[in-house]
Amino acid sequence: MSKTEVFAHRGASSYAPENTLEAFLLAIEQGADGIELDVQLSKDGVPVVIHDETVDRVTGQSGFVKDFTLQELKEMVVLRERFAKYRDARIPTLREVLDAVRPSGIAVNIELKTGINWYPEIEKKVAAIVEETGMKDRVIYSSFNHYSVQKLKSIVPDAETAYLFSDVILRVDDYAAKSGVDGLHPAVYHVKMAEFLSEYLASGLKTRVWTVNERADMKMLIDAGVTAVITNYPDIAIAVRDMM
């Protein structure tokens, strides 16, 4: 059984503003095996790394990401009040993040945020940036919008992909395998409900569970041999793993 990997959810997001270069570089410093990030499109069609469809929660300003140009988004500061040490963090583009993390060798889980706004051509734009930055072999694509995952696959047939889900789906492992997807990314609360985790592991699909922030859950999942835990506390997950 190979070692469970630790993916930093939106970067080391308990210690630095989520989805910023600062959070991703800190995750690398902490020794994470991978980072997870969320991609949406700016008004001028640039893939940018931000979780919500609006800028409100992380910038204190108001409006949809899709209604701001990249330049306008760059003028906003992320989570200035909460993270005093990182007072000038900005919304990065996907390209900036991939360029910044490439030298470390870390893996990148790109979550396509196409559940509320299905941005035109987002899959094509993201795949092109991944190709241009030389990150193709280190990227895993995921989405709650499974059509979006399939669209990405139609553009990059050999891309590594996974279905995200937060509710229980009937025989999701069969469905994923039949539709050519490599992995399952279930929510932590759902794998604790019943025998779902053993089904996922038995399927042979890569199983990366999110968002695993409690030590007991980290231990249970590492013990069970999941492919990865996706956590806001990569340092703690690494320490838990190293103690086992």
Q: Where do contacts with Mg ion occur on this chain (CB under 5 A)? A: 38, 111
**Which DSSP letter does residue 180 get?**
T
In whole angstroms, how large is the CA radius of gyration of the chain?
A: 17
Amino acid identity, position 168: V
Q: Which two tokens stand for residue 154?
A: 């139609």
Query: Considering CB distances under 5 to 8 angstroms, the limit depending on partner class, which of Mg ion, ligand G3P, none binds residue 230?
Result: ligand G3P
**206 near ligand G3P (CB under 6 A):** no
Distances (CA, A) of 221 to 31, 144, 163, 211, 229: 19, 22, 19, 12, 7
**Which DSSP letter does residue 210 get?**
B
Query: Considering CB distances under 5 to 8 angstroms, the limit depending on partner class, which of Mg ion, ligand G3P, none binds residue 164?
Result: ligand G3P
**51 near ligand G3P (CB under 6 A):** yes
Question: Is 185 assigned a catalytic role?
Answer: no
Question: Which residue lies nearer to ligand G3P by CB, 49 or 220?
Answer: 49
**164 near ligand G3P (CB under 6 A):** yes
**185 near ligand G3P (CB under 6 A):** yes
Q: Among 36, 160, 182, 217, which residue interacts with ligand G3P (rule: CB under 6 A)?
A: 36
Amino acid identity, position 95: R
Question: Which residue lies nearer to ligand G3P by CB, 226 or 230?
Answer: 230
CB 50 within 8 A of CB 19: yes
Question: Is 146 assigned a catalytic role?
Answer: no
Spatial separation of the C-alpha atoms in residues 109 and 112, rounded to whole Å: 10
Q: Which residues form the catalytic set?
A: 9, 51
What are the residues binding ligand G3P (CB under 6 A)? 9, 36, 38, 51, 111, 142, 164, 185, 210-211, 230
